[in-house]
Chains A and B, each alone.
Chain A
Amino acid sequence: MRAYNAALMSAVQLAPTRFRPRHLLGIEGLSREEITLLLDLSDSYVEQNRAREKKSTLLRGRTIINLFFENSTRTRTSFELAGKRLGGDVVNMSAEASSIKKGETMTDTATTLNAMLPDVLIVRHADSGAVKLLSEKVDCAVINAGDGTHEHPTQALLDALAIRRHKKRLEGLLVAICGDILHSRVARSNIHLLSTMGARVRVVGPPTLMPAQIERMGVEVFHDMKKGLADVDIVMMLRLQTERMQGNFVPSVREYFRHYGLDYQKLEVAKPDALIMHPGPMNRGVEIDSEVADDVDRSLIREQVELGVAVRMACLDVLTRNLLSNTEGNGK
C-alpha cells in the first residue's frame, strides 16, 4: 500500500501539467480538475506573496505584455505584479498611449506585438469575443483580462479562492450574485466556475439588468433581494456599470440602492456567517453600503484584491509551462 501511494505521488509530481488549454480565454469549458489545479497552485503563491522575499525566477527570460484596450487600474496592476513576482519582464500597453488611437485595428496591433515574440499576452477589451479573435492571430499564450460582457476568468478564480480559503469548500455552497448581471462578465465567469465546482448559484437583480434566458445557465433568478439572499453562504455584489449602459435600465441611483443596494437590513436573511464580496471598484451607496463593505468580519473585498495577484501568478505559471513543454522558445 505504501509503495502504491509513493508511486502515485511521484506520478503526480512528474506530470508536467494537467492544465491543457493553451490560452485562458474563459471559465466555460474548463474542467473541475483544471480549476482545482489553478486554485491549489494559487494557494501556494499566496504564501510566496506573504513572505518577505516575494520574487522567484520561474519566468526569468519570459516576456509578458499587458494589452489593455479598456481602462483598468487594479487588474492591470495585479497582472503586472504577478508577472514581476515570478521574475518575468512585464510591459504595459494601454489604449491611450498606443497606435490604437492612431486607427490601427486590434488584429494589426496583435500581429505587431506577436512579432516581438512575447510569451504571454494579457488582454482586456470592451467587446465580447475580442480576446478570442486576437488569440487566433498570435503564437503566444493569451489570458483574457475581461472581454466585454462575456468573461473575466481570473476574477472568478480569485473569487473562488477567497471563498474556498474561508469556507474550506465550494461544493454545496449557496451563492447569490447581485446587481447588474446583464453587463457583467464577472457574473458569467462566476456562474460557470461555481456551477462546475458544485455550488448553487442565484442571480438577483432588477429584470432590466437580467440577460435573456439566464436560467438556462443553471441559475435561479430572483428580483427581490430579501428572497434572493435567504440562507445564502456568499453574497457577491456587482458594480452598477454605468459606463456600459445604453439607455434607462434603472430610473435612479437612489431607487436602485433602495431595492438592490446591500445593507445590513437586507443581509439579515442570509446565513449568519455569510460573507460579502465585490469585484471592485465599488460604488459606495449605490450597490453597497459603506459600513457593510468595510465590515472586517464579513467582507472579503480587500482579501479578494490580495488573492488576485496569487491567482494571476498561477495562471501565468501553468500557461508558460505549456509553452515550455511544447517548444524550446517560441520564435519561428
Chain B
Amino acid sequence: MRLPEGAIAGRTPGGRGGPALAYVNARLLDPATGMDAPGGLVARDGMIADIGAHLAKAGAVAAQGIETIDLGGKCLAPGLVDIRVQLREPGDEHKETISTASAAAAAGGVTTMVALPNTHPAIDDAALVESVARIARETSLVRVETYAALTRGLQGKEMTELGLLAEAGALGFTDGTQATKDAQLMRRALSYAKVFGKPILQHPEEPTLSRGSMNEGEISTRLGLPGIPAAAEIMQIERDLRLAALTGGRLHIPCVTTAESLRAIREAKARGINVTCDTAAHYFALNELAVGDYRTFSKVAPPLRTEDDRRAVVAALKDGTIDAIVSDHAPHDQDSKRLPFAQAAFGTVGLETLLPITLELVHKGELTLLAALDLLTARPAKLLGLPSGRLAKGVHADFVVFDPDTPWKVEAKKLVSKSKNSAFDDRLVQGRVLRTVCGGLTVYKV
C-alpha cells in the first residue's frame, strides 16, 4: 500500500516501523466477538497491539508515553470488507483507477476491496493477478484483493488455470457481470475448484433472458423499455444450485435481488448445499421506481426490483440468508451514462455510500448496529478466508471511526471516486465516516 499524504515510512505513529499510537475513548464495535463497549486500542507496527476496556479513558496510556488520540466516544469498528468492487484498472483508467478507487474506499471506511476480474484485459492469468497486486502496492491506500476470471477472456468457453491463479492470490473465480452459459463448463469449474478451496461466483442473470434494461413490469411497460423478468435471476440461480449439489463445489451468488431467489438459496442452505450469497446496498435501499424518468444512474445489473422484492432482501439480511453486503462499485464516466436509457452502461458507484446506506437498516430498526456491521466486515472476510474484518490483538490495524447519526446529503459531484454515477445522488442519509485507518495509518480523516 502507498503511504497516505503526510505519512513517513517507518516514522509515522501506528504504521509499520513507527512508534505506537493509541486511540482511546471509543465505542468499540466488533461483530466477530459481539463486543459493543467503551474502550480503545493501540496500533503499533501496523497491527493492533492492544485493545480493550482499559483503554476507554483518555489518558489511559499517557504514562507509557504513547501518543494518544481521543475519539470522544465515537464508534470504532473493523474497516469494511467490500467483496465486490469494479476497479476499471487495467483498461478503463478514465473511469477509475486502483488509486482513485482506494481513495473512495478510504472515504467510505472500506479497508479491504475485492476486485472483479472484468477489466481490459480480464484478469485471467497468474501474471495479471500479480500485476494487480503490484499496482495496488504502489498506488492503493487500502488493501486490494482480486478474483480471477473463470474463463479465458471472460468468453465463457475455456476454463482458466484455476490452480495457478489461486496460488497467485485469487480469492475466487467469476466471469464478472455475466453468467457462464455453458452448464457443463460450470459443473467442471465447481468440481475442480474444490481442490483449491475457492468459491465460484456466478452473476445471477440467465443471459438470453436478461437482454433488457430494467425490471420487467408496469414501469418498464410505461417507459417503453425492454424488461428483464425476475425469472431470469431465479433460473440462473436454480441451475447453479443444482450444479453445486451435483459437484459438492462451493458456489457464491452475488447481488441477489428477488424474493424467489432468496427463498431458493434459503432452502439450499438448509439442505446443506455449499452456497453463500450477498446483495448490494442499492437492492435493499431502492426499488424499480428509482428509474423514474429514465435515470440512468439507477440502471444496474441485476435491475432494481419491485418493492416486495426489496422487502424480501431486507428480511433475508435479518434472517442470515444473505452473508454479506457489498457496494458492487461500478464506476462509469459521463459518456457511458448520459445516453438514452437502453444504451447506458449498467452500474452505480457505491464505496462511499456503503456504510450510510447500510446504517439506514439500523435507523429503521431492521438490524442492530452489530448485525449490520457483521454483514460489512466479519462475515464477508470469513467467507473469503481473509484475516481482516475484526478487532483483535495481532490483526492488522484496519478500522473505521464513525458517527452513526450524523445527517448528510449524498452529492454525486462531491464524491471522491473518479466517476460520479451514484444511484444515491441527492439522498439524505445518516452516518458519517470520520476516520479510516489501514495498516495503522490514517488514510482518510474528515
A128 and B221 within 8 A (CB): no
A75: Cβ under 8 A from any B Cβ: no
Give the shortest distance, in Å, between A133 (CB) and chain B (any CB): 6
A285: Cβ under 8 A from any B Cβ: no
B408: Cβ under 8 A from any A Cβ: no
| Interface band, chain A | 20 to 34
Contacts of B223 in A (CB 8 A): 128-129, 150
B293 and A132 within 8 A (CB): yes
Contacts of A151 in B (CB 8 A): 224
B271: Cβ under 8 A from any A Cβ: no
B284: Cβ under 8 A from any A Cβ: no
Beta-carbon nearest neighbor of A213 in chain B: B218
Closest 5 CB pairs of A and B: A127-B340, A150-B224, A129-B294, A149-B224, A130-B340
Q: Give complex CA distance A212, B216 in Å.
A: 7
A23: Cβ under 8 A from any B Cβ: no
B218 and A185 within 8 A (CB): no
A127 and B211 within 8 A (CB): no
Give the shortest distance, in Å, between A21 (CB) and chain B (any CB): 14
Q: Give complex CA distance A216, B222 in Å.
A: 9
Beta-carbon nearest neighbor of B343 in chain A: A127
Q: Give complex CA distance A125, B342 in Å.
A: 12
Known: A105-B335, A133-B340, A246-B211. A128 touches B224 (CB 8 A): yes
Give the shortest distance, in Å, between B403 (CB) and chain A (any CB): 37
Q: Give complex CA distance A155, B335 in Å.
A: 32
Q: Give complex CA distance A147, B225 in Å.
A: 11
B178: Cβ under 8 A from any A Cβ: no
Contacts of B343 in A (CB 8 A): 127
Interface string of A290-326 (1 = CB under 8 A from B): 0000000000000000000000000000000000000
B221 and A217 within 8 A (CB): yes
Give the shortest distance, in Å, between A2 (CB) and chain B (any CB): 48
* A/B pair count, beta carbons within 8 Å: 68
Contacts A129-B294, A129-B342, A212-B220 known; list 11 others, CB within 8 Å.
Answer: A105-B338, A106-B340, A128-B223, A128-B224, A128-B294, A128-B342, A132-B294, A148-B224, A188-B224, A213-B218, A216-B221
A281: Cβ under 8 A from any B Cβ: no
Interface residues of B in 194-227 (CB under 8 A from A): 211, 216-218, 220-225, 227
User: Which one of B211, B217, B229, B293 contacts A129 once the chains associate, using CB atoms below 8 Å?
Assistant: B293
Q: Give complex CA distance A58, B211 in Å.
A: 47
User: Which one of B211, B221, B335, B342 contacts A212 once the chains associate, using CB atoms below 8 Å?
Assistant: B221
Give the shortest distance, in Å, between B290 (CB) and chain A (any CB): 15
Give the shortest distance, in Å, between A8 (CB) and chain B (any CB): 37
A148 and B221 within 8 A (CB): no
A216 and B218 within 8 A (CB): yes
Interface residues of A in 66-109 (CB under 8 A from B): 105-107
B341: Cβ under 8 A from any A Cβ: yes
A220: Cβ under 8 A from any B Cβ: no
A125 and B340 within 8 A (CB): yes
Contacts of B227 in A (CB 8 A): 211-212
Contacts of A253 in B (CB 8 A): none
Interface string of A15-49 (1 = CB under 8 A from B): 00000000000001000000000000000000000
A148 and B342 within 8 A (CB): yes
Give the shortest distance, in Å, between A115 (CB) and chain B (any CB): 18
Q: Give complex CA distance A7, B58 in Å.
A: 80
A12: Cβ under 8 A from any B Cβ: no
Give the shortest distance, in Å, between B291 (CB) and chain A (any CB): 10
B218 and A129 within 8 A (CB): no
Contacts of A150 in B (CB 8 A): 223-225
Give the shortest distance, in Å, between B217 (CB) and chain A (any CB): 5
Give the shortest distance, in Å, between A182 (CB) and chain B (any CB): 9
A129 and B225 within 8 A (CB): yes
A113: Cβ under 8 A from any B Cβ: no
Q: Give complex CA distance A28, B293 in Å.
A: 12
A213 and B217 within 8 A (CB): yes
Give the shortest distance, in Å, between A146 (CB) and chain B (any CB): 10
Q: Give complex CA distance A214, B211 in Å.
A: 20
A217 and B340 within 8 A (CB): no
Contacts of A213 in B (CB 8 A): 217-218, 221
Give the shortest distance, in Å, between B379 (CB) and chain A (any CB): 36
Give the shortest distance, in Å, between B231 (CB) and chain A (any CB): 11
Known: A105-B335, A129-B294. A211 touches B221 (CB 8 A): yes
30 intermolecular pairs with C-beta atoms under 8 Å apart:
A28-B222, A105-B335, A105-B339, A106-B339, A106-B340, A107-B338, A125-B340, A127-B340, A127-B342, A127-B343, A128-B223, A128-B224, A128-B340, A133-B294, A133-B340, A147-B224, A148-B225, A148-B342, A150-B225, A188-B222, A211-B220, A212-B217, A212-B218, A212-B221, A212-B227, A213-B218, A213-B221, A216-B221, A217-B218, A217-B221
Give the shortest distance, in Å, between A135 (CB) and chain B (any CB): 11
Q: Give complex CA distance A133, B296 in Å.
A: 10
Q: Give complex CA distance A149, B224 in Å.
A: 5
Contacts of B218 in A (CB 8 A): 212-213, 216-217
Beta-carbon nearest neighbor of B338 in chain A: A107
Q: Give complex CA distance A128, B225 in Å.
A: 6
Contacts of A188 in B (CB 8 A): 222, 224
Contacts of B216 in A (CB 8 A): 212
Give the shortest distance, in Å, between A109 (CB) and chain B (any CB): 13
Contacts of A107 in B (CB 8 A): 338
Contacts of B335 in A (CB 8 A): 105
B340 and A129 within 8 A (CB): yes
Q: Give complex CA distance A40, B251 in Å.
A: 64
Give the shortest distance, in Å, between B120 (CB) and chain A (any CB): 20
Give the shortest distance, in Å, between A303 (CB) and chain B (any CB): 27
Interface residues of B in 285-340 (CB under 8 A from A): 293-294, 335, 338-340
Q: Give complex CA distance A130, B213 in Å.
A: 14
Interface residues of A in 115-157 (CB under 8 A from B): 125, 127-130, 132-133, 147-151
A148 and B340 within 8 A (CB): yes
User: Which one of B217, B338, B341 contacts A128 once the chains associate, using CB atoms below 8 Å?
Assistant: B341
Q: Give complex CA distance A148, B339 in Å.
A: 13
Contacts of A211 in B (CB 8 A): 220-221, 227
Beta-carbon nearest neighbor of B293 in chain A: A132
Interface residues of A in 254-276 (CB under 8 A from B): none
A214 and B221 within 8 A (CB): yes
Beta-carbon nearest neighbor of A215 in chain B: B218
Interface residues of A in 175-224 (CB under 8 A from B): 185, 188, 211-214, 216-217
Beta-carbon nearest neighbor of A187 in chain B: B224
Known: A150-B223, A185-B224, A217-B218. A212 touches B340 (CB 8 A): no
Q: Give complex CA distance A90, B271 in Å.
A: 70
Q: Give complex CA distance A43, B310 in Å.
A: 49
Q: Give complex CA distance A149, B335 in Å.
A: 23
Q: Give complex CA distance A212, B209 in Å.
A: 14
Contacts of A212 in B (CB 8 A): 216-218, 220-221, 227, 229
Q: Give complex CA distance A20, B378 in Å.
A: 56
Contacts of A127 in B (CB 8 A): 340-343
